[in-house]
């Protein structure tokens, strides 16, 4: 059977009941000897197992970088230690080294299992580069926790790798207009700033678009400070939109211990507020005379 057919059989065949004498001890993880090793196993063995156990040291990266979190493996490692790997990753044989694999999706699980020095439960399929990014994008689009900016960054990577807009739409299961807005954000905001902020899961499309509009080429990477990616986004956004200084409190003018007026000094005007006690009318009627006297005294 051809290599592709064998691997497809690995995925498509339901596990067959174990036969006497061929049962695998579940307490001892079984490693393959690389992609060729997986293909060269007997057909009966391949049919018996739809999931293979792979040494994580034999798995290389491939496709697009979809995650922006920093140091985000601790919770996953604790979960894997407690419950084991419940969901397999998807691998393909490495086209550059047939003894190794490339991860299609599940790279965080692979990284965590590598740190734990435990075998990775994986499905293995022969995929070309286009099929790889489609599979990776479609798997990402079903994960609710993947944020807007992570999807936008994924779309940018696909476009920069030369994939057509239709392929990007198919991979992310989105229409062209939304992909265009994502690419606007990813092109306007430097990648260094995106990575400094991180996934920002609570920040949606409109606020990222607003940030892109306000950035205007300024380097705001150093402003991305905070304990969480949402906090770092807010710090950058606030730095681009500093709060206005509060208006100074009105001055109080007193005569013989009684308040007679309040003066509010603004940027382009001074506002005098008078109580309606008769003095206001007198002042209003004498303003023109007082202004002429002021001009004469100042040589105007």
Pairing of strands 251-255, 120-124: unpaired
Task: Determine the pLDDT at residue 105.
Answer: 83
Of 89, 121, 124, 122, which Cα lies nearest the Cα of 107? Answer: 89
Whole-angstrom distance, CA of residue 48 vs CA of residue 85: 20
What secondary structure does DSSP assign to 126-175, as a single string?
---HHHHHHHHHHHHHT-TTS-HHHHHHHHHHHHHTT--HHHHHHHHT--
Residues 6+ apart with CB under 8 A from 11: 50, 123, 124, 125
- HSE-CB at 120 with a 13 A cutoff on CA atoms is 29
Cα dihedral sign for 287, 289, 295, 300? Answer: positive
Cα dihedral sign for 155, 158, 161, 163? Answer: negative
pTM value is 0.49
Per-residue pLDDT of the chain (300 residues; tens, 9 = 90+): 433 433 333 334 334 333 343 343 434 444 455 666 655 554 445 443 478 899 999 998 876 665 655 556 777 888 888 878 888 888 988 988 888 998 888 888 898 999 999 999 998 888 888 888 887 777 765 554 678 998 899 889 889 988 888 888 877 778 899 899 999 999 999 999 999 999 898 999 999 999 999 998 899 999 999 998 999 999 999 999 877 777 788 889 888 888 888 998 887 889 999 889 888 899 889 888 888 888 888 876
Whole-angstrom distance, CA of residue 51 vs CA of residue 182: 36
Of 22, 254, 39, 202, which Cα lies nearest the Cα of 125? Answer: 39
Whether the Cβ atoms of residue 120 and residue 80 lie closer than 8 Å to each other: no
Pairing of strands 120-124, 89-93: parallel
Of 265, 263, 238, which Cα lies nearest the Cα of 253? Answer: 263
Of 226, 31, 68, which Cα lies nearest the Cα of 154? Answer: 68
Helical H runs in the chain? 3-12, 35-40, 43-48, 74-83, 107-116, 129-141, 148-160, 165-172, 176-188, 191-197, 205-215, 229-240, 279-297
Whole-angstrom distance, CA of residue 198 vs CA of residue 235: 13
Report the SS3 class of residue 28.
coil
Task: Determine the pLDDT at residue 191.
Answer: 92
């Amino acid at each position: 059977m051809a290599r592709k057919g064998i691997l497809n059989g690995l995925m498509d065949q339901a596990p067959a009941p174990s036969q006497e004498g061929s049962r695998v001890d579940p307490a001892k993880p079984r490693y393959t000897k690389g992609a060729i090793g997986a293909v060269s196993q007997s057909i009966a063995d391949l049919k018996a197992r739809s999931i293979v156990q792979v040494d994580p040291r034999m798995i290389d990266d491939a496709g697009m970088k979809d995650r922006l979190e920093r140091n985000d493996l601790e919770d996953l490692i604790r979960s894997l230690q407690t419950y084991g790997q419940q969901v397999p990753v998807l691998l393909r044989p490495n086209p550059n080294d047939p003894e190794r694999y490339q991860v299609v999706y599940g790279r965080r699980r692979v990284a965590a299992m590598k740190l734990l020095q435990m075998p990775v439960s994986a499905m293995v399929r022969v995929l070309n580069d286009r099929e790889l990014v489609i599979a990776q994008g479609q798997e990402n689009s079903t994960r609710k926790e993947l944020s807007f900016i992570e999807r936008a960054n994924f779309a940018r990577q696909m476009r920069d790798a030369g994939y057509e807009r239709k392929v990007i739409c198919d991979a992310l299961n989105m229409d062209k207009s939304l992909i265009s807005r994502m690419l606007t954000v990813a092109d306007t905001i430097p990648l260094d700033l995106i990575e400094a902020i991180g996934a920002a899961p609570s920040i949606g499309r409109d606020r990222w678009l607003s940030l892109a509009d306000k950035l205007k080429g300024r380097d705001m990477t150093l402003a991305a400070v905070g304990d969480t990616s949402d906090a770092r986004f807010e710090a950058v956004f606030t730095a681009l939109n500093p709060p206005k200084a509060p208006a100074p409190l009105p001055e109080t003018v007193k005569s013989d211990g009684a308040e007679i007026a309040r003066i509010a000094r603004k940027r382009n005007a001074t506002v005098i507020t008078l109580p309606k006690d008769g003095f206001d009318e007198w002042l209003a009627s004498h303003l023109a005379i007082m202004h002429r006297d002021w001009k004469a005294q100042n040589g105007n």
